Structure 1
Amino acid sequence: MTIYSSVGKRNHVSYFELPYAKMPTLDDILEHIGEFDLFQKQATFVLCFVSAAFSSVYVGVVFLGFTPEHRCLSPGAAELSSRCGWSLEEELNLTVPEQGRPGESLSSQCRRYDVDWNTTGLSCTNPLENFTGYGNRSSIPLVPCQDGWVYDSSGSSIVTEFNLVCEDSWKVDLFQSCVCAGFFIGSICVGYMADRFGRKFCLIVTSLVSATAGILVALAPSYLWMVIFRFLQGFVSKGNWVAGYILISEVVGPSHRNTVGILYQAAFTFGLILLDGLAYAIPHWRWLQITVTLPYFFFLFYYW
């Protein structure tokens, strides 16, 4: 390469010997204009709500899938109890199989006496002795809960509504496994989308989809649809959380990234505490699901 000096003398220098200025990085710009000013503080404050809301998706099964004490529904037992004037404790002692019966692999929560409580002439003191052919109580055959269950709970959960107990208790684990599978797949797919189209765009889209899927979970008419919508919510909610974490780290300077990262994680813990209070105040799972999903609609205002 040929260059000329100030006196017009021609010189030959190598291309690699030319002095080049270093291209400024984003960190250099943030150090110059401010690493944690008003805009960054506002963004941190707003995005911490994203982290807090994610806790209800992550551990919501603790309350949504709560399994209360339960027993088989025995047709006619309640009418006999009312006629005899039994207390609840007396009804349980006289009509429910004892816990841990020898030779039974399932508990009394999943078995009932194979008797007809509508039989006339039953004694109020010991109704089981009225059935001829039976000796003591342990000789009475037991059958599965064919007529449903009675739950000792004033609220409701997916367990009490869809009878996810005994032989169907594995469906509660499947409910949580589906959302975890959504976390795994969504983290990959939504992560690519965030790199391709931007964190902010990804955050808004996943917030909208998560809000819609969460409402559909609460309105699901059957267990199958509930699991499908739950998977969809898990698919976008984990990516939503990750997009918020990356975005909150990118808008602040290098010296504040550890601080905002800790605040983002602490907001998740705050969400867990808040979820406990909401579950105590709202013991019905559909209303609880709607309540913890509504904040995702407000995240759409992050567009502005």
Structure 2
Amino acid sequence: MDKEHALEEMMGKLGDFGRYQGFQFFLHILAAMTAGIHMLSLVTVAAVPDHRCAIKGVDSQNYTEPWNSSLVTQLIPLNDHGKLESCKMYAVNKSLEDCQSWVYDTQYYTSSRGIEWDFVCHRRWMGAASQTVYMFGVVLGSIVLGRLCDSFGRKTVFVWSGILQLLFGASVAFSTGYYMFVVIRFLYGIFGSGSYIAGFVLTMELIGPSRRTLCGVTFQVMFAFGIILVAGWGYLIDNRFYLQIVYALHAAILLPHWFLMDESPRWLWAQGRARESVAIIEKALKMNRSNEVIDTPALVSNCKLTSTKYTEDQSSGTLGLFRTPNMLKKTLIICGCWFANSVVYYGLSLNAGKLNGNPYFIIFLMGVVEMPSYIIIMYYIDRVGHRALISVMMLLGGISCLVVVALPHGSPAATGVVMIGKFFISGSYSIIYKYSAELFPTVVRSSGVGLGSMCASVSGALAPLISLLDTLNPKVPTIILGFLALLSGFSTFLLPETIGRSLPQSIEDGEKFGIGDTCFTNCSGRRMSEISTDIPETMIPLDVKKS
């Protein structure tokens, strides 16, 4: 038997999706839900409601003058949108002066870090910095944890990330000062998406081709469900301490995974740990009620022949993504796609509280609007392919952002177009995880997805800072998001299609994968059934070279 196909014969016996894969997949996707909660928790925990200058001698802790009273309108000017100015008030001589303290509209929020520490006006940067620091923690986590996934295993990183999510998530609630809060949120961010990265790679390495699209998109569905939970818990719990504790406790559902979840058989095989890999497959076959028989001695022998090659590839780590021309091109473009998708996705999501209306309902809609996008993705992806869908949805998302600029600020039409933009960007974002996992070879797959996730985290960290540019002009942030989406949408034309294609295993396979395949040579994808029948009938063929 060809040594490169020994693993594929074993994995092929499982089939694409059985009882075992379904159970493991359920365990994996729980990490997506917790990641969504952690990522967007600050939107409610540190919410900044409408505010105005506190009037000395009138407003106090026990009493706030009605906002529409004649006294308030005499002392506080109106802004360009006809609302009370948030940062200025009239001095005794009728000149404008900066606020010294503030009072907040308590219709939706009575307790938040934003109210407690006054994340407004000249202190507004503090709220943006809190989210930016979290995202930079995610950046570091993407680099370190992606590499640790390849070195120490997907399961180990998954479970330890869950433990530390719980620890640091709860610690955030106990923070007594701003800088303590920021430091703990940085640590919280490192592990906030660690289980997501490991869980996604585990799924892609276990599930067969016919179910990879559905499973990949389901990860994004669960992330969106996490956003919905952020809105739901925020509506029910109007206390920033208990709210943060509840958000953190969701990570506890990942702890039993140490006993319930298995390591990736592909990773074990790549490490030369054939007996452990075969044992998991035998367990899976039994759970799937399959009559297939595994030839353990032959498989172990074949694994020993390939372990040296895998070890050499494994040692290249993230650098292996940049050492050859085709790998370099694909890596740079896909990282650009991650960057643009993330900055637009989080730019829209994190600013949900600034849209007119009930902020909890707006956040809820931000999660719900993703669902129909994912349904469309699942229906069309095998018909038009990853490349075409990512390109079209990013281009339409970018156009939506630019359309918002032309609409009246705070109008229902603007809110509606923002939701349309979120619809398209969510769709492209859902594809990029799976697309990246299929572009990168197995030996650096976690590192590749981790690198892409790092780029997404960097741009996600920039999203709150970009929103601060509205002090120059309210339209500037949206224009930036729109042009980034358009640029990335066009660049995706140069990537190869992966639908129904064999996944590369080694760095050499990765360099050969997709050469000459661009939108200009084949602008649309093809149905799986139309892909070349030369692909071996195995679960996910990784190398079609002949021995």
Please say whether Structure 1 and Structure 2 have the same fold, judged by a TM-score greater than 0.5.
yes
**Is residue 53 of structure 2 the alignment partner of residue 59 of structure 1?**
no
1:135 aligned partner: none
Contact 2:77 2:88 in 1 (8 A): no
Length-normalised TM-score, structure 1: 0.74
Shift of 1:261: 1.3
Which of 72, 82, 90 is matched with 2:53 structurally?
A: 72
Change (3 A) 1:226 1:27: farther
Change (3 A) 1:44 1:74: same
2:17 aligned partner: 36
CA distance in 2, matches of 1:77, 1:91: 13
**Is residue 90 of structure 2 the alignment partner of residue 109 of structure 1?**
no
Amino acid at match of 2:45: L
Question: How do 1:184-199 and structure 2 match up within 5 A?
Answer: 184-199=139-154
Shift of 1:236: 1.4
Amino acid at match of 2:177: S
1:120 aligned partner: none
SS for the counterpart of 2:52 is strand
Which of 85, 93, 98 is matched with 2:77 structurally?
A: 98
Amino acid at match of 2:53: C
Amino acid at match of 1:166: C
Cα deviations by residue, 1:131-183 (Å, 9 ceiling, x for unpaired): xxxxxxxx42444333x221111422221011111110011111111111112
Shift of 1:239: 2.4
Question: How do 1:109-258 and structure 2 match up within 5 A?
Answer: 109-114=86-91, 139-146=93-100, 148-153=101-106, 154-258=109-213
CA distance in 1, matches of 2:66, 2:188: 45
Which structure is larger by alpha-carbon Rg, 1 or 2?
Answer: 1
Change (3 A) 1:291 1:92: farther
Contact 1:72 1:109 in 2 (8 A): yes
Shift of 1:203: 0.4
Contact 2:44 2:230 in 1 (8 A): no
Change (3 A) 1:78 1:187: closer
Change (3 A) 1:204 1:87: closer
Cα deviations by residue, 1:260-292 (Å, 9 ceiling, x for unpaired): 212222211222222222222223332222112
Shift of 1:223: 1.0
Contact 2:36 2:227 in 1 (8 A): yes
Change (3 A) 1:140 1:45: same
CA distance in 2, matches of 1:29, 1:198: 20
SS for the counterpart of 1:52 is helix
Contact 1:182 1:232 in 2 (8 A): yes
Contact 1:72 1:111 in 2 (8 A): yes
Which of 213, 223, 227 is matched with 1:268 structurally?
A: 223
Change (3 A) 1:145 1:25: farther
Contact 2:66 2:72 in 1 (8 A): no
SS for the counterpart of 2:161 is helix
Contact 1:186 1:234 in 2 (8 A): yes
SS for the counterpart of 1:169 is helix
Aligned-residue CA RMSD (Å):
2.4
SS for the counterpart of 1:71 is strand
Shift of 1:21: 5.0
Aligned residues: 251
Contact 1:77 1:95 in 2 (8 A): no
2:30 aligned partner: 49
Change (3 A) 1:95 1:225: farther
Contact 1:30 1:252 in 2 (8 A): no
Change (3 A) 1:92 1:287: farther
SS for the counterpart of 1:203 is helix
Contact 2:37 2:229 in 1 (8 A): no
Shift of 1:253: 3.0
Length-normalised TM-score, structure 2: 0.43
Shift of 1:51: 0.3
Shift of 1:249: 1.9
SS for the counterpart of 2:103 is strand
Change (3 A) 1:96 1:240: farther
CA distance in 1, matches of 2:45, 2:66: 31
Identity %: 29
Change (3 A) 1:192 1:98: same
CA distance in 2, matches of 1:172, 1:185: 21
Q: Which range is displaced more, 29-38 or 198-207?
A: 29-38
Q: Which range is displaced more, 175-184 or 30-39?
A: 30-39
1:127 aligned partner: none
Higher RCO (CA-CA < 8 Å; seq separation 6+): 1
SS for the counterpart of 2:193 is helix
SS for the counterpart of 2:56 is coil
CA distance in 2, matches of 1:151, 1:36: 53
The structure carrying a bigger helix percent of its residues is 2
SS for the counterpart of 1:242 is helix
Amino acid at match of 1:111: K
CA distance in 2, matches of 1:21, 1:71: 73
CA distance in 2, matches of 1:205, 1:93: 53
User: Which ranges of structure 2 fall in alignment gaps of 5 or more residues?
Assistant: 260-547
